[in-house]
Amino acid sequence: MTFAGVLLGVAIGIVLLSWVMNLVGRDRLYVGYGVIFVLGTLAAMTVLIVPPLLDAVTRASVALLPVPSLSIVALVIFTFMMVYVFTQITVLSNRVMRLTKELAIRNAQQEGDVERRAAERR
Amino acid sequence: MDTPPDRRCRSLVAVPAYNEGATVRGVIDAVRANLPDCDVLVVDDGSRDEAATALAGTGAIVATHLCNLGYGHAIQTAVLYATRHGYDRLITLDADGQHDPAQVRGLLTEFDSGRWDILIGSRYVVQHKYDGVPLGRRLGMQLFSTLVGLLAGQRIYDTTSGLKVIGRRAFVPLTRWHFIDFHAEALVYLMRLGFRIGEFPITVRERRHGPSMYSALSHVKYPLKTMFMLLLGVVHADLSRKRAS
């Protein structure tokens, strides 16, 4: 891979890392998903930066599945789409959590009121 | 006219429970015997065992999550309940019977000295050693205790204790930021915000019923997630402080 290619790869990695950290920080991406994306991105960046690792991975991947280098672009787009999809799942999941907590608190309150009235009657 | 219970009792004892039907009733009875001036809230975190039956007639307020949300969210439900009902202190206890409610009095006396916003019932604060703890768990405890010391400037020896006294001042940040299990990540976040957190020595009993909430896989997931949230918590707390000042 050319030096410009490595630089571009690292730049994309940094953008992805910043985006994921920001999403987790704002509670829009579940921390468990965030950890996977961060570790995956760091691993990919390490492979890009260390030439012997890049050679080994390139040789292994070509031997297993010969694909044109353009497929890397598709992989990058797919990764960003995955982050987006998991963000939507997290947002939905957070709404369910909020509802679950709210229902629990309201039901506990009503139950407490009923018991209090029963105790007063006694 | 009687004062409503939530004004008469300034302390709420919260017991998060997930599949602890075998022990939770004993814990509630012990709490009521030792802390008669406190209200008791059980957060049933979507239990699939006989917990609901066991809780009937105990006099405890029960907040039931319709599905399992995890320990951290069960604690957040308790904090929200305490906030809305005007409690001044929230005492959290494990439902597995490991904590002796009789020891809470000591914690409350220390808490009432006004030196702490959160006081942790700590198994290791006296000896600073993790004797008798399995190796993997011990390494994790040492790691997170050290990380808390590095990131917050104060070592906490028992970051995973479920016995805590939380003052009203800490209620709001505890419901705003998202935590995993209210352990090291929550402590660092609060300490970076300026809250005073201390430890008070306690002893715990062996867990007698059911599995721990930590599965084999969670021994890999928990440290990664907690470290990630530790770092984010530091950034978020520092930004919040800067904006406030």
Residues in a beta bridge with B91 = B13, B165
**pLDDT digit string, tens, across residues A4-34:** 888 999 999 999 999 999 999 999 999 999 9
Which residue ranges make up each domain of chain B?
5-244
Cα–Cα distance, A115 to A102 (Å, whole number) = 20
Residue scoring higher pLDDT (B113 or B59): B113
On the question of pLDDT at B109 being above 60, the answer is yes
Q: What average pLDDT score do residues B58-66 get?
A: 91
Lowest pLDDT segment from B114-123, B171-180, B212-221: B212-221
For residue B137 the two structure tokens come to: 């768990």
Residue B135 CB contacts under 8 Å (≥ 6 apart), including other chains = none
**Option in B43, B73, B221 nearest A32 (CB):** B221
B73 in contact with A, Cβ within 8 Å: yes
Structure confidence at residue A16 (pLDDT): 96
Residue type, B243: R
Q: Report the alpha-carbon distance of residue B114 to residue B127 in Å, rounded.
A: 25
Looking at the DSSP bridge assignments, the partners of residue B64 are B44
pLDDT at A6: 87
Candidates A24, A100, A109; nearest CB to B232: A24
pLDDT at residue B202, rounded to an integer: 94
Q: Does B56 touch chain A (CB under 8 A)?
A: no
- pTM of the predicted structure, to 2 decimals: 0.86
Q: How confident is the model at residue B9 (pLDDT cuts 50, 70, 90)?
A: very low
Of the candidates A35, A105, A116, the beta carbon closest to that of B224 is on A35
Query: How many CA atoms within 13 Å lie on the side-chain side of B67?
Result: 7
For chain B, the straight-line distance linking the first and the last C-alpha, in angstroms and rounded, comes to 45
| The Cα angle at residue B227 between residues B173 and A24, in degrees rounded to 5 | 60
φ and ψ at B44, to 5 degrees? -80, 105
> Under a CB-based contact definition with an 8 Å cutoff, are residues B151 and B230 in contact?
yes
Asked if B15 reaches chain A (Cβ–Cβ under 8 Å), the answer is no
Q: Identify the CATH homologous superfamily for domain B5-244.
A: Spore Coat Polysaccharide Biosynthesis Protein SpsA; Chain A (3.90.550.10)
